[in-house]
């Protein structure tokens, strides 16, 4: 019984992490119809920025608890700098092209950012484990877990709730939904679509940065960490249905739990199972679990 609880807990922790990544991806796709491969690089940027800022904070001898503030600062920095930079500087000139061309544009951005990260931070890995160790441990049965895992779950839940509240209950959110529904019509009604795009992309970048910043304390931050994250979050988003927030949450849970079950009972299948779930869902529902039917255009 206790192993079962552990498997579920592991799965939920992993799902929370997946959800943070997937939420930004699905948001950007929903509004802008861009499947953003550069999302993985933004994640890596978040991790690196957090490790640098946090490392500097600790090195300066301030209270270790403040390293959490550094994580938050890293998130804001990545979102506020990279979001507008990529959207205004590049994507703006690409709207109206095919979805698949936009995918390739973000692939190019991914390639550029991968090397930019190496140029800025070097190829050696960075360690920044203070926030991970700081909150202490707790036990499920005989197994001891860091409390940091609970922080991760809490952040994911709060982010999910805040996003859906903002989307469905605020004026800005409703404007966003209008743009998702019909871009041209909402522009005709006086919504500043450009601004909505900019805000969406910045928010998405921030979510990627959040995923990265929260991961930084758990891993050795090194080049190439973004590469695998991209396909993972693709899997989650595609399972849930592109552009659906609830879908991203459900997809994250499915993929996360499937993985933790595999890790426990069939370790060789860890990677296999994730993409197997993705393929199964796509086979059963070609456009993901939560997807609105589309009219055929002749």
Which residues contribute to the site for other proteins (CB under 8 A)?
Answer: 35, 90, 93-94, 99-101, 103-105, 107-116, 118-119, 123, 227, 230-231, 234-235, 238, 242, 267-276, 278-279, 282-283, 286-287, 296-298
Q: How far is the CB of 131 from other proteins (least distance, A)?
A: 29
Q: Give ∠ CA 70-108-204 in degrees, rounded to 5.
A: 40
Q: How far is the CB of 149 from other proteins (least distance, A)?
A: 25
How far apart, in Å, do the first and last CA atoms of the chain sit? 56
Cα 173 from Cα 165, distance rounded (Å): 8
Cα 217 from Cα 230, distance rounded (Å): 19
Q: Give ∠ CA 44-14-176 in degrees, rounded to 5.
A: 65
Q: In this complex, which beta carbon is closest to other proteins, that of residue 70 or of residue 229?
A: 229
Q: How far is the CB of 192 from other proteins (least distance, A)?
A: 25
For 142, which DSSP code?
A: T
Cα 223 from Cα 110, distance rounded (Å): 13
Q: In this complex, which beta carbon is closest to other proteins, that of residue 123 or of residue 161?
A: 123
Cα 10 from Cα 16, distance rounded (Å): 10
Q: In this complex, which beta carbon is closest to other proteins, that of residue 179 or of residue 278?
A: 278
Q: How far is CA 217 from the centre of its chain?
A: 16
Q: In this complex, which beta carbon is closest to other proteins, that of residue 109 or of residue 214?
A: 109
Q: How far is the CB of 238 from other proteins (least distance, A)?
A: 5
Q: In this complex, which beta carbon is closest to other proteins, that of residue 53 or of residue 105?
A: 105
Cα 282 from Cα 184, distance rounded (Å): 30
Q: How far is the CB of 110 from other proteins (least distance, A)?
A: 7
Q: In this complex, which beta carbon is closest to other proteins, that of residue 25 or of residue 210?
A: 25
Cβ contact 43:211 at 8 Å: yes
Q: How far is the CB of 88 from other proteins (least distance, A)?
A: 15
Q: In this complex, which beta carbon is closest to other proteins, that of residue 171 or of residue 294?
A: 294
Q: What are phi and psi of 113, to 5 degrees?
A: -65, -35
Structure tokens at 233: 């979050």
Beta-sheet strands, E only, within the chain: 137-140, 143-146
Q: How far is the CB of 230 from other proteins (least distance, A)?
A: 8
């Amino acid at each position: 019984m206790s192993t079962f609880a552990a498997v579920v807990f592991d799965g939920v922790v992993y799902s929370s992490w997946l959800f943070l990544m997937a939420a930004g991806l699905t948001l950007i796709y929903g509004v802008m119809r861009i499947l953003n491969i550069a999302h993985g690089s933004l994640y890596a940027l978040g991790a690196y920025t957090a490790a640098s800022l946090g490392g500097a904070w600790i090195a300066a001898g301030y209270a270790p608890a403040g390293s959490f503030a550094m994580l938050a600062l890293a998130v804001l920095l990545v979102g506020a700098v990279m979001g507008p930079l990529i959207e205004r500087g590049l994507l703006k000139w690409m709207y109206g092209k095919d979805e698949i061309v936009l995918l390739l544009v973000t692939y190019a951005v991914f390639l550029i950012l991968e090397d930019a990260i190496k140029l800025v931070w070097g190829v050696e890995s960075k360690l920044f484990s203070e926030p991970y160790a700081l909150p202490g441990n707790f036990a499920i049965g005989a197994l001891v877990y860091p409390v940091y895992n609970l922080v991760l779950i809490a952040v994911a839940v709060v982010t999910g709730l805040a996003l859906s509240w903002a989307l469905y209950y605020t004026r800005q959110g409703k404007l966003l939904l209008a743009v998702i529904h019909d871009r041209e019509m909402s522009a005709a009604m006086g919504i500043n679509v450009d601004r909505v795009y900019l805000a969406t992309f910045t928010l998405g970048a921030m979510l990627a940065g959040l995923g990265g910043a929260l991961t930084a304390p758990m891993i050795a931050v090194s080049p190439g960490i973004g590469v695998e994250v991209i396909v993972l979050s693709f899997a989650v988003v595609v399972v849930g249905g592109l552009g659906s927030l609830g879908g991203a949450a459900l997809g994250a849970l499915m993929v996360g739990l499937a993985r933790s079950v595999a890790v426990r009972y069939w370790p060789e299948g860890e990677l296999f199972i994730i993409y197997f779930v993705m393929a199964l869902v796509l086979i059963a529902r070609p456009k993901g679990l939560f997807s609105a039917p589309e009219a055929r255009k002749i």
